[in-house]
Amino acid sequence: MKLYSFPCASREPHELFAALSRHSYSLFFDSADRHHELARYSYIVFDPIETIEAKNGTVCIRGAEGKITLQGRGIDCVRDRLKIHGLDKRSHDHLPPFQGGAAGLFGYDLTRDLEKLPAMAQDNPEIPDMAVGIYDQVFGYDHQQKTGWFIVHAEDKSSARTHFDHFIQLTGETPGQGPATSSQRWQSSHTRREYERAVQRVIDYIHAGDIFQCNLSQRFESRLPEGFDTWAHYLRLRQVNAAPFAAFMNFGAVKISSASPERFLLVRDRRVESRPIKGTQKRDRNEAADRLNRARLENSAKDRAENMMIVDLLRNDLSKVCEDDSVEVPVLCRLESFAKVHHLVSVIEATLKTDQEPADLLQACFPGGSITGAPKVRAMQIIEEMESKRRGPYCGTLGYIGYDGAMDTNIAIRTLVYQGNTVSFNVGGGIVADSVTAIEYEETLSKAEAIFDSFEAAADNSAPATAP
């Protein structure tokens, strides 16, 4: 198999993906926030060679060889299948960095492959811990150069051309859109009092010496109207809350929309980067009030301490698979502003050891420390105790691992899961010793606001969304 590429498309990637959005295992990695420095590339993948789904230690592979079921770790299986399908592993510098490989969802509960955790929270058996496709066709779009490329691994140029023509034909279709939303009534997993009690319980654990920090979340759920169009809703979401690491993924019975502002792990030429977010302040339409919120966040000792704890955690995780003394922190607690919130963001860099692969890096750092707490394992045990339902995709990772060793993943926050006629999402925050329970609750609502708004935006504004 050789890699072939075809320059194509003056249309925006989200316009091309519309026709593919109804196909199972069609994925869209969307650099939706064009103003963000990292929002350079968007990708579309579809029609995988095979799919790999993992649930509670069982892995199911579906492809040309039929269905194979085995026991094992999901990430190990992805690493093995990439080797089996090892197509053209060379990097082609003139193309967008993802040129084929594995892509999809690594959900939070995949961590049970790696750590022994209690089983207290309710699981959803229909949502896989991991859902990944192996792709030999990628459409990559460079927003800086305003150029799109269809990239395909094929036996010869004639075969590659056939794939390209098929892609053009597929994306030329203009499917009709169903309703994107209606007025939503949300049900939370916690009342305000319950959430604040849980925050206080976490603070008690901190004072008892169990942990330094724990990320606690609440889940909002709602029923969807008949014929609800999840792709049309994603278009609303990216309009209301454009994010640099956004995504839409169709896994058949389960679909995912993400407006994540956070990069988990990037690998380019064995150079690794992670950008944990800790510290949040709500945006305000009044310019003076917004400046005040920025200043509050930049000068918040509590938020800076929270961020630095996670930086230390990630430095430790990266050191397991990166070269000695290569772990550096070039940016610490820099303020970045997004559509609805301000965040403190740090940047950690390192060099991956020559005997380690991106899948090893993902396994060593999974799940991201910014959404667990520190120490990580004890924090995850407390999360299992405090949150009534398992997180599923939330706080896992959406991203890709290329045949050539390139990788980019987000932290799956601000992420919705559509299943049947329901939609759900979690919002949370880091709890530390000096957290104030009421403020922590309000912070979760600030993070949820953009998602609530995305449903309102599609309605006729006569019946606004209802939050508890």
**Residue 48 within a domain:** yes
Tokens of 207: 């004072």
Torsions phi, psi of 3, nearest 5? Answer: -95, 130
Q: For position 372, what pLDDT does the model report? A: 96
- Residue 157 designated active-site: no
Report the alpha-carbon distance of residue 227 to residue 462 in Å, rounded.
21
Instruction: Identify which of 330, 328, 315, 324 has the alpha carbon closest to the alpha carbon of residue 354.
Output: 324
What backbone torsions phi and psi does residue 117 show, to the nearest 5 degrees?
Answer: -125, 155
Q: How far is CA 105 from CA 74, 119, 262, 440, in A?
A: 11, 22, 15, 28
Q: What count of other Cβ atoms lies within 10 Å of the Cβ of residue 258?
A: 29
Look at residue 77 and tell me if it is in a domain: yes
Among 278, 340, 376, 447, the one annotated catalytic: 278
Q: Is residue 67 part of a domain?
A: yes
Distance CA 466, CA 468 (A): 7
Instruction: Going residue by residue through the chain, which has 468 residues, state the pLDDT in tens, using 9 for 90 and above.
Output: 899 999 986 688 999 999 999 999 999 999 999 889 999 999 999 999 999 999 999 999 999 889 999 999 999 999 999 999 876 677 889 999 999 999 999 999 999 999 999 999 999 999 999 999 999 999 999 999 999 999 999 999 999 999 999 999 999 877 777 766 666 789 999 999 999 999 999 999 999 999 999 999 999 999 998 889 999 999 999 999 999 999 999 999 999 999 999 999 999 999 999 999 999 998 998 999 999 999 999 999 989 999 999 999 999 999 999 999 999 999 999 999 988 889 999 999 999 999 999 999 999 999 999 999 999 999 999 999 999 999 999 999 999 999 999 999 999 999 999 999 999 999 999 999 999 999 999 999 989 998 999 987 544 443 333 333
Can you tell me whether residue 21 is helix, strand or coil?
Answer: coil
Q: Please count the structural domains in the chain.
A: 1
CATH of the domain at 212: 3.60.120.10
254, part of any domain: yes
Question: Does some domain include residue 283?
Answer: no
- Range list of H helices, 136-229: 157-171, 192-207
255 is catalytic: no
Question: Distance of alpha carbon 240 from its chain centroid, rounded?
Answer: 18
The reply to whether 282 falls in a domain is no
Strand partners, 260: 245
The tens digit of pLDDT for each residue in 393-443 reads: 999 999 999 999 999 999 999 999 999 999 999 999 999 999 999 999 999
- The DSSP code sequence of 177-196 is --------B-EESS-HHHHH
Question: Would 149 be classed as within a structural domain?
Answer: yes
Strand partners, 67: 62
67: left (phi over 0), alpha (psi -120 to 50) or beta: beta
The answer to whether the peptide bond before residue 96 is cis (omega within 30 degrees of 0) is: no
Residue 277 lies in a domain: no
Q: What residue numbers bound the domain in which 417 lies? A: 2-270+354-455
Q: Which residues of 213-232 are buried (b: 16+ CB within 10 A; e: fewer)?
A: bbbbbbbbbbebeeebbbbb
Q: How many residues are there in the chain?
A: 468
